[in-house]
């Protein structure tokens, strides 16, 4: 009886605090419930979960923080800020169970899980970008708020910035963690933690990543085909032992001599000339080159008739532009070592035609030459002896760092589905590399029809590296993947949007390669419904 009276009294006091005049109401502050709810207990008990070669370093249910204060009462709600990471720090506006751990020797990971009544039954592992080096909190946040249990890893090493490769020097164990082991270990541990928390495993497991994350997705499909039911691999950096030299090539080209430099101020000129030559090839003038492989733009058309000027290119500049388009080739045989950048990508070249792109420098200094003071200007890409070093490094380190195996038979037989995608105006990773990988899979599987039963490639005109550019860079590949995995509905097209200032500017279908989007001939060219996917002529 006394306990009942006490509870009634507390309720009355809380009601008075809420509805009384602020000037007369007692200042009673609503606090978190002292006794943890069952989900709190289940989460915090995960600190004692025993997993192979793993130490759980944190297990906490993030529930309530003050978010609004007024005279007489403080309103509480979830508003938790993640630790700092090379990928950024985020505020999480929903309650969740956070588990952090380390797999020996140094693979850090986190698993975030919504309460059971908010969980959609799915697990989404998210990838890193560039050289990893931190937990990808922004990607985890996006999936958590949609109801997924999600996980990320630092790739087996910590770095202040995802583009720095100092950790590579003298640490071959970290190379394999970065190349394939970290994501696999994260996935195994995350699934075990999810099952321990909810009392059941995820019904479906998906992986999404772009760039370095795209490489991670392909490594999973090739090495550990049972880890995921479906994978989205965007702009995959799946052949870094060739890609990193290829990304350094434009800097070499533009530093051969003073005349070879391409002024950044002239990139817009080159870009507009490429569009003028090739934009209309698909029947629609929309500022996009639908398939740059059909573009025969010749930068010689911009050759100055006299002295150098802002509206023309010198002979040296023309030659450099051509070589950037051509990509890196064996100086002896002419064989393509790494594809070039496409017409239409020119506005993204500033990071490559000045000082060399920073990411490859870690590879050269830490792995190839094992010299932190190695000077990139001492390497001659046109010297057969120097070029032989690239082949040797490719052979030695490709099995560790690359994810180029086209044999996806095991992934296919397990029912796995894979969506590849790449932006045609990618200024970092050459899109033809992804096309080459797709074609290699087709050759391995035996036919395109059989390949497309589990793997489809989508190319996005005008889209830069993972996002950006003038093309439609906003689309939900994961939703398309889920339909494919869970309902057997293969993606015959993915509707993509170009969004500026929060508003959709235009939409366009992305078509499964080798199909392309073709305008029907009527209606707005800004509306995807006025296009169809067809095989190219």
Return the active site residues: 211, 426, 465
290 to each of 86, 113, 513, 515, how far by Cα in Å? Answer: 35, 41, 12, 11
β pairing state of 516-519 and 531-534: antiparallel
Phi then psi dihedrals of residue 232, to 5 deg: -110, 120
Helix (H) or strand (E) holding 107: strand 107-113
How far apart are the two ends of the chain, measured CA to CA in Å? 85
Q: Minimal CA–CA distance to 360: which of 251, 268, 480? A: 251
b/e 87-102 (16+ beta carbons within 10 angstroms → b):
beebebebbbbbbbbb
Q: Minimal CA–CA distance to 466: which of 165, 220, 126, 233? A: 233
Q: CA-based Rg of the chain, rounded to a whole angstrom?
A: 27
CA-CA distance, 369 to 249, in Å (whole number)?
17
b/e 452-487 (16+ beta carbons within 10 angstroms → b):
bebbbbbbbbbbbbbebbbbbbebebbebbbebbee
Query: Beta partners for 353?
Result: none
391 to each of 336, 337, 339, how far by Cα in Å? Answer: 12, 9, 16
* Half-sphere exposure at residue 379, Cβ-oriented, CA atoms within 13 angstroms: 21
Tokens standing for residue 213: 């994350």
Query: Beta partners for 97?
Result: 61, 113
What are the helix and strand counts (H, E) for the chain?
Answer: 16, 19
CA-CA distance, 156 to 180, in Å (whole number)?
10
Strands annotated E in 246-344: 328-329, 336-338
Write the burial class of residue 258 (CB in 10 Å: 0-12 exposed, 13-18 middle, 19+ buried): exposed
**DSSP string computed for 339-403:** --PPTT-GGGTHHHHSSPPHHHHHHIIIIIS--TT--GGG--TT-HHHHHHHHHHHHHHHHHH--
* Half-sphere exposure at residue 458, Cβ-oriented, CA atoms within 13 angstroms: 29
Which are the contacts of 383, defined by CB distance < 8 A and separation ≥ 6? 331
């Amino acid at each position: 009886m006394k306990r009942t009276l006490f509870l009634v009294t507390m309720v009355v006091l809380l009601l008075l605090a809420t509805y009384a005049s602020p000037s007369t109401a007692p200042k009673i502050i609503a606090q978190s419930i002292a006794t943890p709810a069952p989900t709190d207990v289940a989460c915090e008990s995960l600190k004692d979960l025993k997993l192979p070669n793993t130490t759980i370093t944190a297990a906490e249910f993030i529930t309530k923080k003050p978010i609004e204060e007024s005279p007489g009462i403080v309103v509480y709600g979830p508003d938790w800020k993640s630790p700092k990471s090379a990928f950024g720090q985020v505020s999480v506006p929903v309650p969740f169970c956070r588990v952090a751990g380390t797999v020996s020797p140094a693979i850090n990971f986190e698993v975030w899980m919504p309460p059971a009544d908010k969980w959609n039954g799915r697990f989404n592992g998210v990838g890193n970008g560039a050289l990893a080096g931190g937990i990808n909190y922004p990607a985890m946040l996006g999936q958590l708020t949609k109801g997924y249990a999600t996980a990320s890893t630092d790739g087996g090493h910590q770095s202040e910035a995802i583009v720095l490769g100092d950790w590579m020097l003298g640490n071959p164990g970290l190379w394999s963690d970065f190349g394939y082991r970290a994501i696999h270990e994260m996935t195994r541990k995350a699934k075990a933690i999810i099952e321990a928390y909810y009392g059941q495993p995820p019904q479906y497991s998906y992986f999404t990543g772009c760039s370095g994350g795209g490489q991670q997705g392909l490594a999973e499909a090739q090495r550990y085909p049972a880890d995921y039911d479906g994978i989205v691999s965007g702009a995959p950096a799946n052949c870094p032992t060739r890609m990193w030299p290829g990304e350094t090539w434009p800097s070499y080209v533009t530093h051969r001599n003073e005349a070879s430099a391409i002024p950044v101020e002239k990139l817009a000129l080159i870009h507009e000339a490429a569009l003028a030559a090739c934009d209309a090839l698909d029947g629609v003038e929309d500022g996009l080159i639908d398939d740059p492989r059909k573009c025969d733009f010749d930068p010689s058309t911009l050759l100055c008739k006299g002295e150098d000027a802002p509206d023309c290119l010198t002979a040296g500049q023309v030659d450099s532009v051509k070589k950037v388009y051509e990509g890196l080739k064996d100086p002896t045989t002419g064989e393509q070592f790494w594809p070039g950048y496409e017409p239409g990508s020119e506005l993204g070249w500033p990071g490559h035609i000045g000082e060399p792109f920073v990411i490859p420098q870690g590879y050269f200094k830490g792995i190839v030459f094992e010299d932190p003071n190695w000077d990139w200007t001492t390497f001659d890409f046109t010297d057969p002896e120097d070029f032989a070093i690239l082949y040797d490094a490719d052979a030695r380190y490709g099995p560790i760092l690359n994810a180029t195996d086209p044999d996806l038979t095991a992934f296919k037989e397990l029912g796995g589905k894979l969506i590849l995608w790449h932006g045609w105006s990618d200024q970092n990773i050459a899109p033809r590399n992804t096309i080459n990988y797709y074609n290699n899979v087709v050759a391995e599987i035996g036919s395109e029809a059989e390949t497309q039963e589990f793997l489809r490639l989508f190319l996005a005109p005008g889209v830069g590296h993972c996002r950006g550019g003038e093309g439609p860079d906003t689309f939900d590949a994961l939703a398309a993947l889920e339909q494919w995995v869970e309902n057997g509905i293969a993606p015959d097209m993915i509707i993509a949007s170009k969004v500026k200032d929060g508003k959709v500017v235009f939409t366009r279908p992305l078509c499964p390669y080798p199909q392309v989007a073709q305008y029907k001939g009527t209606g707005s060219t800004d509306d995807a419904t006025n296009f169809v996917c067809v095989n190219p002529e």
